[in-house]
């Protein structure tokens, strides 16, 4: 069984929700949830450094979306380094030129996806973890991004695939329908033990309560046994303006 998690950490924040106040809360949540691998969104270099320093049991793959190095937000995948061997990792941009840092179609921002093959050192089992943060404005970029991710998932020759991310769209949108139009399925819908909680609240859940964070799985090779939203506060405060989501999966 492997626990797959996704979290938009919120790049900065302000007041009591500024990054310095929330880093310890995010770290507590990750340690408590203990994912096998997890994808982050809006994680610029300060976040990456904070996570790697506080969570030495994890390593990561990923890059800054603006230059393919350290500039801008990462869509990094973190994994338990003593449990997994990481290989075949890379990044692609949600654009017409996916091999170079670039903004695509009607996108308001440069958007990137990161992937890695994780092989269990003890059992030899492996899965692909893809992570992304799709655009919040460009509908065409969202749909094409979903198509790119779905096609990438299909390119691994039938290996188990999970795809995490802030997709910035609700269930039922054209982007969402694109993601589930092939072998990929929404773990929230597929898991027999599931959660109907919202994922985005902008620190004001009484006003904002949308489901835009997802974990998609290849339904032919990955069996989610549950799906949960980490709907909680620490010391009376939200750890981000999104709740983390996770699923425990079996590989078929």
pLDDT at 92: 98
- Element containing residue 52 per DSSP (H, E): helix 45-54
pLDDT at 192: 97
- Element containing residue 140 per DSSP (H, E): helix 139-154
Task: Tell me the per-residue pLDDT of 148-177, one tens digit each, with 9 for 90 and over.
Answer: 999 999 999 999 999 999 999 999 999 999
- pTM for this one? 0.98
Q: Write down all domains in the chain, each with its CATH number in brackets.
A: 2-251 (3.60.10.10)
Task: Tell me the per-residue pLDDT of 85-143, one tens digit each, with 9 for 90 and over.
Answer: 999 999 999 999 999 999 999 999 999 999 999 999 999 999 999 999 999 999 999 99
pLDDT at 113: 98
- Report the pLDDT averaged over residues 61-79: 98
Give me the residue label for tokens 């799906």.
227
pLDDT at 174: 98
Q: Which of 248, 230, 164, 197 is nearest to 26 (CA)?
A: 230
> What sign results for the dihedral spanned by CA atoms 93, 97, 98, 104?
positive
Burial 33-72 (b: 16+ CB within 10 A, else e): eebbbbbbbbbbeebbebbeeebeebbbbbbbbbebeeeb
Percent of the chain with pLDDT over 90: 99
Q: Which of 20, 129, 14 is nearest to 76 (CA)?
A: 129
pLDDT band, residue 36 (cuts 50/70/90): very high
Percent of the chain with pLDDT over 70: 100
């Amino acid at each position: 069984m492997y626990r797959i998690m996704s979290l938009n950490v919120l790049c900065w924040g302000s007041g009591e929700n500024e990054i310095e106040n929330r880093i310890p809360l995010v770290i507590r949540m990750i340690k408590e949830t203990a994912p096998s691998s997890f994808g982050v969104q809006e994680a610029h270099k300060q976040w990456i450094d904070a996570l790697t320093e506080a969570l030495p049991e994890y390593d990561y793959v990923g890059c800054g979306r603006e230059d393919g190095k350290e500039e801008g937000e990462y869509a990094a995948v973190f994994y338990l380094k003593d449990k997994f061997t990481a290989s075949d990792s890379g990044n692609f941009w949600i654009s017409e030129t996916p091999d170079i840092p670039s903004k695509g179609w009607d996108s308001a921002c440069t958007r990137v996806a990161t992937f890695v093959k994780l092989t269990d050192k003890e059992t030899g089992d492996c899965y692909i973890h893809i992570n992304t943060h799709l655009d919040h404005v460009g509908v065409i970029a969202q749909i094409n991004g979903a198509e790119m991710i779905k096609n990438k998932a299909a390119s691994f020759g039938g290996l188990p695939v999970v795809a995490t991310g802030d997709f910035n769209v609700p269930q039922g949108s054209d982007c969402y329908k694109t993601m589930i139009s092939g072998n990929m399925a929404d773990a929230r819908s597929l898991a027999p033990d599931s959660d109907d909680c919202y994922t985005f609240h902008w620190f004001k859940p009484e006003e904002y309560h949308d489901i835009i964070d997802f974990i998609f799985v290849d339904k032919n090779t990955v069996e989610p046994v549950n799906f949960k939203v980490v709907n909680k506060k620490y010391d009376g405060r939200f750890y981000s303006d999104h709740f983390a989501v996770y699923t425990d999966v079996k590989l078929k």
